[in-house]
């Protein structure tokens, strides 16, 4: 208690020693700026501070909009039923009702989509909005955190205009994804709703560390931590600076130097410490894991999703089903990367690993789909250009999903994984008014979702190409 009183006593003493307040300055002479510096004393020290203009009065909040969306067809993603001539009523940013359109439209701002099919805004559970394929390898070391954030603003717009109104961003340097999320939420830039991880957690020298430079550079990535105490600190630090999900690299990766995607990185004890702290503090955990003990230990530790799963075997599939763990495959990037590796100057080590791993991944992920592992759509956009996210849906159909199952992976399943099933993923009262308009029937041809006509997020239209 004595220590608490000392600062107060010091403040009081300083106040007693302070010089008497200067008399109020005279009004400025005509033509003299109010913010001009005051006169200085003989030593050249200003005798009074600059004037500061009072803050502008706050603008009154805009009245909530009453929007009527008339859909020629509306997809119920839970049942797969295509409902004809529907009316979605939006108040503010929330859907208040969905049902058959009346013969006479009630009052409100009408968005006429009577010639189109309307589906919920899509969800990508694995993005890197602040990255791009041209920064894979050594060139990525030239990308500053401020530049990452600005790059993210461009990519956020492309992602939103592609029909993805919600994303989970799993890995970004210097909390640039936190800054991007906050800018989107403030209305500074257009973009999807974001759940963000900040820097991904990695062991020293593992995938998600920076291993391209020699030892004398002493370069270590933001999220590197070794040992139980260190990983607990990193989880808490990420949450302190704005992370709403924790991303951990449980195995080696494809595009990183010097590691093996089949080997584990963190020990089981470290993984358990990461998950325990994250869950206790209200955050889910996404584990980058390609195979081996890394998948099994991550699932046993209680992670919420396995990202990639390239070497997922029967034992891993059974364990994921037992624990209810989601798999977030990133399939389309495999074709795009091998076709464009030379164009983007991908490092030789990354191309060599990709050529070995991607064919195996196709087979194993297909087996997981057929076995009934829960799937949420993720793209790993940044390995390929942002805005092509919907091509992942077609890749899932090629693996054996029906078009409806693929759509569900990007709607109700992804919403469940993110912990937002009461907010996004379906066109239902009480959820955010996030929707997409397309031509045709996506339950018959899922590639129609690659050609979005209109995108609405929170009741506001961000793209209109009707």
**CA nearest to 166, candidates 379, 439, 333:** 379
Close Cβ partners of 451 (under 8 Å, ≥ 6 residues apart): 438, 439
Residues annotated as catalytic (active site), given as ranges: 247, 380
CB 303 within 8 A of CB 319: no
- How does 194-211 read in b/e, with b if 16+ C-beta sit within 10 Å? bbbbbbbbbbebbbbbbb
- The number of C-alpha atoms within 13 Å of 203 and in the hemisphere containing its C-beta is 20
Cross-sheet strand order for the sheet of 435-438: 94-100, 82-91, 66-75, 109-120, 435-438, 452-457, 460-464
Strand partners, 76: none
Alpha helix stretches (DSSP H) within 68-192: 145-161, 176-185
215, with CB counted inside 10 A (0-12, 13-18, 19+), is exposed
Is residue 180 a contact partner of residue 129, using CB atoms and an 8 Å limit? Answer: yes
b/e per residue 77-95 (b: at least 16 CB within 10 A):
beeeeebeebbbbbeebbb
Contacts of 70 (CB under 8 A, 6+ apart): 85, 86, 87, 101, 105, 110, 111, 112, 113, 114
């Amino acid at each position: 208690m004595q220590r608490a009183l000392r600062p107060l006593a010091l403040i009081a003493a300083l106040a007693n020693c302070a010089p008497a307040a200067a008399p109020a300055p005279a009004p400025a002479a005509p033509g003299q700026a109010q913010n001009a510096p005051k006169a200085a004393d003989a030593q050249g020290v200003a005798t009074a501070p600059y004037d500061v203009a009072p803050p502008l009065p706050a603008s009154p909040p805009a009245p909530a909009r009453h929007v009527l969306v008339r859909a020629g067809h509306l997809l119920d993603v839970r049942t797969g039923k295509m409902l004809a001539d529907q009316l979605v009523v939006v108040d503010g940013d929330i859907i208040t009702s969905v049902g058959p359109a009346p013969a006479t439209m009630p009052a409100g701002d009408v968005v006429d989509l009577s010639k189109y099919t309307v589906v919920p805004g899509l969800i990508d559970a694995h993005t890197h909005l602040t990255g791009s394929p041209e920064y894979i390898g050594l060139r990525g070391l030239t990308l500053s955190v401020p530049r990452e954030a600005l790059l993210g603003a461009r990519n956020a717009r492309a992602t939103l205009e592609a029909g993805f109104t919600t994303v989970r961003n799993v890995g970004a340097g210097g909390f640039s994804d936190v800054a991007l999320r906050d800018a989107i939420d403030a209305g500074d830039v257009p973009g999807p709703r974001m759940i963000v991880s900040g820097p991904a957690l990695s062991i020293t020298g593992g995938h998600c560390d920076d291993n391209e430079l020699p030892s004398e550079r002493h370069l270590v990535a933001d999220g590197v931590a070794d040992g139980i105490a260190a990983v607990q600190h990193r989880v808490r630090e990420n949450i302190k600076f704005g992370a709403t999900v924790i991303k951990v690299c449980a195995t080696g990766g494809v595009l990183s130097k010097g590691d093996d995607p089949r080997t584990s990185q963190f020990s089981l004890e470290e993984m358990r410490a990461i998950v325990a702290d994250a869950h206790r503090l209200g955050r889910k955990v996404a584990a980058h894991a390609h195979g081996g003990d890394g998948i099994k230990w991550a699932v046993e530790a209680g992670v919420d999703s396995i990202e990639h799963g390239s070497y997922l075997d029967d034992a891993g599939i059974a364990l994921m089903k037992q624990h209810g763990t989601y798999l977030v495959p990133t399939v389309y990037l495999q074709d795009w990367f091998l076709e464009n590796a030379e164009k983007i100057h991908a490092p030789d080590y990354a191309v060599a690993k990709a050529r070995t791993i991607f064919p195996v991944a196709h087979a194993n992920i297909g087996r997981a789909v057929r076995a009934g592992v829960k799937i949420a759509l993720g793209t790993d956009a940044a390995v390929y250009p942002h805005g092509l996210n919907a091509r992942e849906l077609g890749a899932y159909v090629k693996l054996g999903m029906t078009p409806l199952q693929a759509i569900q992976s990007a709607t109700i399943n992804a919403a469940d994984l993110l912990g937002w099933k009461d907010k996004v993923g379906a066109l239902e009262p009480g959820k955010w008014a996030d929707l997409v308009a397309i031509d045709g029937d996506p339950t018959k041809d899922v590639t129609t979702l690659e050609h979005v006509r209109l995108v609405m997020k929170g009741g506001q239209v961000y793209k209109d190409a009707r």
